[in-house]
Amino acid sequence: MKKFAFVLLAVLSIALYSCFDDDGYSLGDYWLGFGIIQTESDAYTIVLDDGDVLEVVAWNVHPDYYEWLEDGGRILVNFTILDDVSDENGNIEKYLVKVNELSDVLMKGIMNITEENADSIGNDPITVQEYWMTDSLLNFKLRYTGSYKTHFLNLVQDSNDPVTEDGAAKLELRHNANDDEQAINFSAYVSFSLNSLREAGTDVVSFQVSSTDYEGITHTFTEEFDYSDLDLPN
């Protein structure tokens, strides 16, 4: 089974700004936000989760430094606004920005549990600190303990037990710590695509997610995935 390492990020205290309608911009200001990066030749555009569009015109570090950077990748970006571009009605279409720093955010789909991968998915504890929806993505801020080994994370669905009694898709957040020592507290961000949950004939589906923390307590939440205004997945 192909395994996906999830990025290990230091604990961050983040102020996410949804709009930047200032009369002027300072080189001393910066913003942090999650988004999807789009690349074309040497041009880079970032679409933030709130819909704001950033056109990258300057970098603190050359983009070649980010070897993992690819079109459609999910990122956490630290940026400074240099200017903006407005339409004929004065509405801001995009911001011209300098990228101060980028962090890769793991983005993957829902995995089906099979006999072949059941053991490798892991049953180690994980603490969900925050979760939120962004279009078709379910996003988590997670806490875990480790030392030096690579950890793996999956959002899984058991094909033998796929839904709850109420008909919601039954999902579980699973963590494989690879027998790592529980020496240091880490935080990480990860995003999962929910597009595989779409059903024909409806544009809203319910799903339930469970996870087990370090006290052995199972936490469960239920949400709705509304894709009525979203494009069909590629």
Closest residue by Cα to residue 19 from 40, 49, 46, 43: 49
The CB density around residue 86, as the number of other CB atoms within 10 Å, is: 10
Domain containing 77 — which CATH number?
2.40.50.500
Q: How many CA atoms lie within 13 A of 229 on its CB side?
A: 2
Residues in the chain: 234
21 belongs to a structural domain: no
pLDDT above 70 (res 159): yes
The CB density around residue 13, as the number of other CB atoms within 10 Å, is: 5
DSSP-derived secondary structure letter, 197: G
| 21-25, 75-79, 129-133, 146-150: segment of lowest average pLDDT | 21-25
Q: Report the distance separating Cα 194 and Cα 203, nearest Å.
A: 12
* Average pLDDT value for the chain: 89
Residue with tokens 């990748």: 73
219 belongs to a structural domain: yes
* pLDDT confidence of residue 119: 79
Residue 96 β-bridge partners? 55, 83
What does the pLDDT look like over 37-96, one tens digit per residue? 999 988 999 999 999 999 999 999 999 999 999 999 999 999 999 999 998 888 999 999
DSSP-derived secondary structure letter, 120: H
pTM of the complete model: 0.85
My answer on whether 54 and 135 are in the same domain is: no
My answer on whether 76 and 184 are in the same domain is: no
Instruction: Tell how far CA 14 is from the center of its chain.
Output: 15
Instruction: Tell how far CA 177 is from the center of its chain.
Output: 20
pLDDT level of residue 15 (50, 70, 90 thresholds): very low
pLDDT above 90 (res 234): no
pLDDT above 80 (res 204): yes
Residues spanned by the domain of 110: 106-226
* pLDDT confidence of residue 23: 54
For 129, the token pair is 């600190």
Number of domains within the chain: 2
